Amino acid sequence: MTRIVFVVALLFTARWQAAEIVEVKDRGPVDLAPFNCQDVTRSSVISRVCYDREGRRMLVQRRAAYQQYCDVPKDTIDAFVNAPSMGRYFNATIETAGREGNRPYDCRPGKVPSYQ
């Protein structure tokens, strides 16, 4: 009887972690197990930021869609999450930089060379 009580107590105190898989634009399904995710409530543009420190990958949820960014240093993530305006920081440092051709956080295996 003591064993049953012990097992039941373990079941009610154990933390269950369900696997979370999200659909990422231009990538498909991504398991969030290696990521540390933060829900964002103070931005009208960014809903969630997930970062895989070992893989240096960042997922950003905007308007219910996730996008992936690669080779993102930890200090860039820290500055992004702590910026007075996350949307402005994201557009100026991550998104706009990619539009100008250098695409510093592009996840494609072969980056498009610049012929300037």
The total number of structural domains that make up the chain: 1
Q: Is residue 14 part of a domain?
A: no
pLDDT of res. 113: 35
**Phi-psi sector, 26: left (phi>0), alpha (psi -120 to 50), beta:** left
Between β-strands 36-39 and 28-31, what pairing exists: parallel, antiparallel or unpaired?
unpaired
Dump pLDDT digits (tens) for 4-55. 544 445 445 545 556 799 999 988 999 999 999 999 999 999 999 999 999 9
Dump pLDDT digits (tens) for 56-112. 999 999 988 999 999 999 999 999 999 999 999 998 888 865 455 666 788 875 543
Q: Is residue 112 part of a domain?
A: no
* Paired tokens of 81: 């999450």
Between β-strands 57-62 and 65-69, what pairing exists: parallel, antiparallel or unpaired?
antiparallel
pLDDT of res. 63: 86
Q: Specify whether the CB–CB gap between 67 and 58 falls below 8 A.
A: no
- Rounded to an integer, what distance in angstroms lies between the CA atom of residue 32 and that of residue 75? 21
Q: Which domain holds residue 73?
A: 21-98
Amino acid sitting at position 26: D
Q: Is residue 114 part of a domain?
A: no
Q: Is residue 104 part of a domain?
A: no
